[in-house]
Structure 1
Amino acid sequence: MTEIGEIPEEWEAKPLSKVATYINGMAFKPSEWRNSGIPIVRIENLNSINASFNYYQGKFDSRYLLGNGEILLSWSASLGVYIWNRGKALLNQHIFKVIPVENVSKQFLFWVLHKAVENLSQTTHGSTMKHFKKGQLEKTLIWLPPLPEQQKIAEILATADDEIQKVDEQITLTEQFKKGLMQRLLTRGIGHTRFKTTEIGEIPEEWDVKKIRELRQNIYYGITAKATKENTNLRMLRTTDIKNFKFDLNNLPFCQITEKRSDLSKYFLKRNDIIIARAGTVGVSILVEENLNNVLFGSYLIKIIFKQETIDMPFIHYYFQSQLYWNNISNAQGSTIKNINLPFLNSLEIPLPPIPEQQKIAEILSTVDNKLELLGTKRDKLNVLKKGLMNDLLTGKVRVKV
């Protein structure tokens, strides 16, 4: 028995300070950033491969230099553990370079740190910018098996992670395919050979171009309300609740209405409503699939009710996901989009096929969405499996043969 519970006899309980050295990055000044030189690794670069680099051309201590295979741990704002594999670089502050001591596998330490950071994140400082202190990390106790067992555990967890990465790659490719397919279907249609030039570009001759004001019954802003932990029997949809053009009803907060309204019912979510964010993540939307008579939409959202005799609702929802739509927003608002309003949405011009073709286009795109949903479910299951493996293998609950 140890201070952190029962572990196998061959294992040891050790604080993280005894299994690795933690080097905080260099405090680069913005005035030292350059357009070329050695790239500076910031938290943004760890979280997104597309994040741009700042560069440095001055003198530096070699301890801040990174090479491939280094373990990095971000301890402020965005908490996480990473393996650096993008070549020579310099480490920015708020990120540790982690160097294991002798007889500690780097790959095993990577997984141990994942679990440690997950636990530390539950007790971090700061309400908006989370962080933990180096002392907290170093005092964290871990279970340390003999080196051969460390290596085998790391190998098993890496295999599980590889499977998740393969699914992530499939999701990325499918999303790219969907994006290209939407662009083609919403501009070229299905089986057309004759096209005409319009104010929004070339479209099939049989299609029209219509403004939203011509296609809608109504359009208006949401209601002012505030989230509360008290069960008010009313929930509220906010801009932050919209993820991947969907929302999770179970995660919507209860709310209290903070303005007087005699026509409250118009603010409930109804089947076939399109809801669009006018601020925050500007332009993202959902199609409401059922009547929700206890869910209101907040003031930073806009509801559009379309005339369904001319619009197939799944079709119009795909339009609001398409590059055509996002290009309209960018062109109208410039590169820094802060918000959109009713006049802007009313004036949007939409390529409009006949209803039967709208339905066919939506049906084709829905098959791609079905594939994405299946892949997402597979990824979720693999993540649950990996989490279970980490819990079992890193605690010695399940032993591996070496």
Structure 2
Amino acid sequence: MTDTNSCEIRDLDIVLNLKDEIMEYFNKKTDYKQPNWIKTTLGKCFRLINGRAYSQVEMLNSGTPIIRIQNLHGSEKWYYSDLQLPEDQYCDKGDLLFAWSATFGPFIWNGTKSIYHYHIWKVEPTPAIDKKFAYYLLTNITTSIKAASHGISMLHMTKEGMEKWEVDIPPLPEQKRIAAILEKCDRLRRTRRYSLQLSETFLQSVFLEMFGDPVTNPMGWFIKNLDDVADIASGVTKGQKFNGKQTVQVPYMRVANVQDGYLDLTDIKLIEALPQEVEQLKLQKGDILMTEGGDYDKLGRGAIWHGQIENCIHQNHIFRVRTNRKIILPEFFAKLLLTQYTKLYFLQCSKQTTNLATINMTQLKALPVPLPPLPLQEKFAQIVQKHERFRTQQREAERQAEHLFQTLLYRAFRGELTSSDSNELDISALSAENHPQQPKPKSTDKPENLPIPATQPQINALQLTLPGLE
């Protein structure tokens, strides 16, 4: 690796040109909603095709893949079907989908020919609507659609409600121009996101190389229970009775703050506690916070506390682990928590109910912890610190790219990216009472470059380098 502290992006010149292009559009004196935009409804812009509901016996281990909402968000758990369905019940690579229940939003399908589930619509734009523009239009209104949805246990939007949703649509050439601008910015946003995701795997690779897989312990490290090498404490109980005793309000860490490998400090709440509780439970730099469970993905996840907030404590659904640094460093233990070794241990000993799993203090204390030599842990801790500085820069770059995209998206659908000389185009099809249901033409063209998962060449274009790790 080269001695740099950067994430190199092959198309950096495109990114820089994009910034100038965006500022050029922002500085134009344009009217809100140009006169050639028309107000219409989604039902006149798209054909929304319902997916099919499946019984458990119809969901097989082989056949045609069934796309569920979980799969759109990256789940690798798939079901299949051997049913022969009408052609419009299938989706092909490049088709536009919209999840309308629980988790909302548009997606561009990038897989093989598949069946889409009941909670997903296939969206077929009319000839007057550009597909890329349709994707960004739906992206822009998704939050409002979710806010207007129905249901208690599971929010959903009805097809009728979706078809009646009012939108402003520019002529087709202007749609293409707006979509092209948004796509450039979206590509930057996704590149930043992929680089951050790619760097997540770096430390785990270093961990395995330095210490071996803890499941098999190939280096023969001595093993002790966690209770022998760390002090473990539960936290304060929310809503307890104080019977008139003097209390104070202090910030505290909730389950939502403790993610898998990092702390999410965007939403910090206060809790009432006794002064002696605060003194006893006050977090110290280097403490590791761990969740006792809940959903399976919350079981035993943890991260290091770096002293970001003064006088902060933690609630009773979180364990605080304070390691004996003469034996085990917090940087080593925190990365051990990310391995399959600890995840399998917690899963096997946890108390499980439907979709829920929890561990208790006794089980956590009994966690077998491999203990490599302290100098080797110290070397790993130095790598962790350099990597975290690098990741901080990546997160800020991702935040800026996300802000830029959301700002541009907002202004695009206010008509503020519309030039005064946009070509007029007859889009009377949008005003028709009935949606023309034309057969979908077969095409051998490659799918358009829409927001889809990164390909291997895109991943290879990202070179993650850290000083001192060559």
Q: Report the TM range for the smaller structure's normalisation.
A: 0.7 to 0.9
What residue is the counterpart of 2:99 in the other structure? 74
Question: Does the Cα contact within 8 Å between 2:98 and 2:106 map onto a contact in 1?
Answer: yes
Change (3 A) 1:31 1:323: closer
Q: Which structure has the higher relative contact order (CA within 8 Å, separation 6+)?
A: 2
Q: Distance between the aligned counterparts of 2:201 and 2:374, measured in 1?
A: 26
The one of 28, 52, 67 aligned to 1:26: 52
Instruction: State the shift of 1:127 in Å.
Output: 4.9
Report the AA paired with residue 403 of structure 2: V
Structure 2 partner of 1:272 = 286
Paired with 1:395 and 1:61, the residues of 2 have a C-alpha distance of: 39
CA contact (8 A) 2:65 2:78 kept: yes
Q: Distance in 2 between matches of 1:92 and 1:211?
A: 46
Matches within 5 A, 1:156-171: 156-171=181-196
CA deviation after TM superposition for structure 1 residue 180, in Å:
1.2
Q: Which moved more, 1:234-243 or 1:327-336?
A: 327-336
Unaligned ranges ≥5, structure 1: 189-197
Instruction: Give the stretch that moved more between structures: 147-156 or 241-250.
Output: 241-250
User: Which residue of structure 2 aligns with residue 379 of structure 1?
Assistant: 398
Q: 2:139 matched to which residue of 1? A: 114
Deviation, structure 1 residue 286: 2.4
Residue correspondence of structure 1 range 170-249 to structure 2 within 5 A: 170-187=195-212, 201-203=217-219, 208-216=222-230, 218-226=231-239, 233-249=249-265
Q: Tell whether the 8 Å contact from 2:215 to 2:341 is kept in structure 1 after alignment.
A: no
2:84 paired with 1:55: no
> Could you say which residue in structure 2 is the equivalent of 1:194?
none
User: Quick one: distance in 1 between partners of 2:299 and 2:103?
Assistant: 23
Residue 42 (structure 2) aligned to one of 4, 9, 16: 16
Distance 1:157 1:275 in 2: 40
Q: Distance in 2 between matches of 1:103 and 1:199?
A: 58
Alignment check: 8 A CA contact 2:278 2:311 kept: no
Question: Which stretch has the larger CA shift, 295-304 or 330-339?
Answer: 330-339
For residues 289-308 of structure 1, the aligned pairs below 5 Å read 289-290=306-307, 294-308=311-325
Q: How does 1:365-376 map to 2 (within 5 A)?
A: 365-376=384-395
AA aligned opposite 1:298 = Q
Q: Deviations over 1:270-297 (max 9, x none)?
A: 3332221112211111222228565332
Distance 2:301 2:260 in 1: 8
- TM normalised by structure 1 equals 0.84
Shift of 1:43: 0.7
Query: Structure 1 pair 152/89, CA: closer, same or farther in 2 (3 Å)?
Result: same
For 1:15, the aligned partner's letter is: T
Please name the residue that 2:303 is paired with. 286
Return the match for 2:327 from 305, 310, 332: 310
The aligned counterpart of 1:191 is none
Distance 1:370 1:294, change over 3 A: closer
In structure 1, what is the Cα distance between the partners aligned to 2:308 and 2:281? 12
**2:78 aligned with 1:46:** no
Alpha carbons of 1:127 and 1:307: their partners in 2 closer, same or farther (altered >3 Å)?
A: same
C-alpha distance in structure 2 between counterparts of 1:92 and 1:199, whole Å = 38
Equivalent residue, structure 1, for 2:113: 88
Per-residue deviation, residues 344-385 of structure 1 (Å, max 9, x unmatched)? 232333333443432221111232233333222212211111
Give a deviation string over 1:59-96, Cα, whole Å, max 9, x none.
32322121122111111111110011212111211211
Partner of 1:37: 63
1:338 to 353, 357, 365: 357
Aligned CA distance change for structure 1 residues 147 and 246 (closer, same or farther; 3 Å): same
Provide the secondary structure at the position in 1 that maps to 2:212: helix
Cα pair 1:164 1:382 within 8 Å, conserved: yes
Tell me which amino acid in the other structure corresponds to 1:243.
Q
Check the 8 A contact 2:299/2:347 in 1, yes or no. Answer: no
TM-score, length basis structure 2: 0.73
CA displacement 1:123-162 (0-9 Å, x = unmatched): 3334552222223322222221111111121122122222
Contact 2:98–2:120 (8 Å) recurs in 1: yes
Q: CA 1:234 to 1:362, structure 2 compared with 1: closer, same or farther past 3 Å?
A: same
Aligned length: 380
Which deviates further from its counterpart, 96-105 or 387-396?
Answer: 387-396
Decide which structure has greater strand share.
Answer: 1
In structure 1, C-alpha distance between the alignment counterparts of 2:309 and 2:189, rounded to whole Å:
35
Shift of 1:326: 3.0
CA drift of 1:182 comes to: 1.3
| Cα contact 1:183–1:324 (8 A) shared by 2 | no
Please tell me whether the aligned partners of residues 270 and 292 of structure 1 are also in contact (alpha carbons under 8 angstroms).
Answer: no
Whether contact under 8 Å (1:270, 1:291) holds in the other structure is no
Instruction: Tell me the secondary structure at the aligned position of residue 357 of structure 2.
Output: coil
Q: Contact conserved, 2:251 with 2:312, CA < 8 A, in 1?
A: yes
Deviation string, structure 1 residues 146-185 (Cα, Å, up to 9, x no partner): 1111112112212222222223332232222221111222
**Tell me, what secondary structure is at the counterpart of 2:49?**
strand
Residue 6 of structure 2 aligns with which residue?
Answer: none
Deviation per CA, 1:196-220: give whole Å up to 9, x if none: xx9962327xx6433322212x323
| CA displacement at 1:15 relative to structure 2 | 1.5
What letter matches 1:219 in structure 2? I
